[in-house]
Amino acid sequence: MEQNTLTPFDNMTQTRELQMLKTVVPYMKGEQKKQFAILIKYMELQNTIQVFSQEDKVLSMCSVSEEENTTLAMLGELRKFCSEKELETLDMITNMVSMLETYETIFT
C-alpha cells in the first residue's frame, strides 16, 4: 500500500493549510485534539461543498476518459490503497471481471 497517495478528489478538496493543520493534531492534548480534528473535517467538508458548486471542476475531477472507464481500470486504481491481504482479494475480483468480460465478448 502506498502511503500518502492522494486521489483526484483529494487534490481538489485538500489544501496545503489543511495538511499543515492535520500535522499538528498529534501534538495536541486530549479534548483539544478531538475538537481540532472535528474542525479540520468541517473545513474539508466546506471545501468539498465549494468544489461541487463549481460544475466544471466537478466534471474534470469525477470523470475519466471513455477508454479508461472500465471496471478493470477502477480495480487497478484501487490497488495503490490496498494491503497485501486486500490485494489478494482484489486480484481474485479482477480475474473474475476479466473472465466475465471475455465471456461477454465471445457469446454476445
For residues 59 and 75, membership in a common domain is answered with no
| Residue range of the domain that includes 71 | 64-108
Ranking 4-8, 17-21, 48-52 by mean pLDDT, the lowest is: 4-8
Helix 84-107 crosses helix 71-78 at what angle (to 10 degrees)? 170
Indicate yes or no: pTM above 0.85.
no
Q: Kindly report, residue by residue over 41-70, the tens digit of the pLDDT.
A: 999 999 989 888 887 656 555 565 666 668
Count structural domains, the chain.
2
For residues 56 and 68, membership in a common domain is answered with no
Predicted pLDDT at 6: 77
For residues 3 and 41, membership in a common domain is answered with yes
Q: How far apart are CA 55 and CA 60, in angstroms?
A: 9
Predicted pLDDT at 42: 96
Predicted pLDDT at 35: 94
Predicted pLDDT at 69: 64
